[in-house]
Amino acid sequence: MPEAHAFSIPMRTRFRGITVREGMLLRGAAGWGEFSPFLEYDDVVAAPWLAAALEAAEVGWPEPLRASVPVNVTVPAVGPEAAHATVLRGGCRTAKVKVAEPGQTLADDEARLEAVRDALGPDGKVRVDANGGWTVEEAVTAIGRLDRAAGGLEYVEQPCASVEDLAAVRRRVDVPIAADESIRRAEDPYRVRDLEAADVAVLKVQPLGGVRACLRIAEDIGLPVVVSSALETSVGIAAGVALAAALPELGHACGLATVQLLTGDVVAHPLLPVDGALPVTRPDVDPALLAEHAAADDRAAHWQARLAAIRQDHPL
C-alpha cells in the first residue's frame, strides 16, 4: 500500500454544502494519487475513489493526445457581484454556474446568470448545474427562465435526480441536457444512453474508478464528454486533466478549474487556468505545503480508518 497523508484545506466559500475539503494523498511508484470521497459517502460509494487514487499512485495514466485542456470557471451559488468577480479570474471563456441551491430562489439564480453573462460578454458560453435539485415541472420552468437570463445556455447539468426525469425534461426543452450524478452515482451509467436522457456525459475520475475506467465509459456511452472535478487538490485535478488529455475528442471546456475554490494547495504550482486552459502536467507534492495542510490528529485517524475499511471490504 502506498504511503498515505491526510489533508484538510478550507474552502473560499461554501460549496456543495461544505467549508473544508478533506481527503488523503497516496504516494506510490508512479507518483501521487488523491483519495477524497465526500464524508457522507459510504464505503461502497467510496471504493471507486480509492481505485482511482491507486491507479494514479501505482500505475500511472495513458499518454496524452493534447498539451492543454480548455476549462470552465466554476461559479458557486453566490451573489451577482461575487459571481462577476469569479468569472473574471483565470481568463475562461466558459462559466459553469451553480443553481437550485437550497434556500435560494429562481430569481437569485437569474441575477447570478445575468452577472456572469455581463462578465463573459456575448461570445462566452454559460452552463448551469442544478445537482438534481428540480422536479420535471420545476426544471422545465427554470430552464426557460435561466436560458433567457444567461442570454443562451450551452447546457443544463443534472436538472433532476433520476435518469427517467432527465429524459422527460430533455423531451420538453430546447437546451441540451448533461448527466453527471446519473452516470457517476448510478448502478448502470449506460441508462443515460439507453433512455436518451442526455446530450452530454459528465465524467469524474475519482467517482468512476480512474482514468482508464472513464475512457471505457466515454467510448461505450456514445456521447460528447465533459471531464469535471470532484473538488480536489491539484493532485486530483491532474487525474482529470490526464483523462481529458487522453480522450480522442474533446469538444467542450472541462470543469477542472476548481482549485481556486480552495484557500490553499499541496503543490507549489497549482493547476490554475491561464487563458482559459490547464496544462497537461503532473505537479509534485511540496512537503512543506503537505505539512501545512495536514489534517488534525482526529481527522487523520478518521481517514486512516476509512482507508483500511475500504481496503478490507472492497479489495481492489
Q: Which of 93, 112, 117, 204 is catalytic?
A: 204
Residue 311 is placed in which grid cell?
481496503
Assess whether 125 carries a catalytic annotation.
no
What radius of gyration do the chain's Cα atoms show?
Answer: 19
Strands 94-98 and 125-129, by their bridges, are: parallel
Residue 47 is placed in which grid cell?
471504493
The closest of 104, 111, 148, 152 to 130, measured between CA atoms, is 104
277 and 253 in contact (C-beta within 8 Å)? Answer: no
| 27: enclosing H helix or E strand | strand 18-28
Q: Which of 93, 96, 98, 193 is catalytic?
A: 98
Assess whether 96 carries a catalytic annotation.
no
Helices (H), the chain: 43-54, 80-88, 106-120, 136-149, 163-172, 181-184, 191-194, 205-208, 211-221, 234-246, 287-292, 297-313
Give the full edge-to-edge strand order of the sheet including 3-15: 3-15, 18-28, 31-35
132 and 181 in contact (C-beta within 8 Å)? Answer: yes
Residue 160 is placed in which grid cell?
433532476
Query: Residues with catalytic annotation?
Result: 98, 204
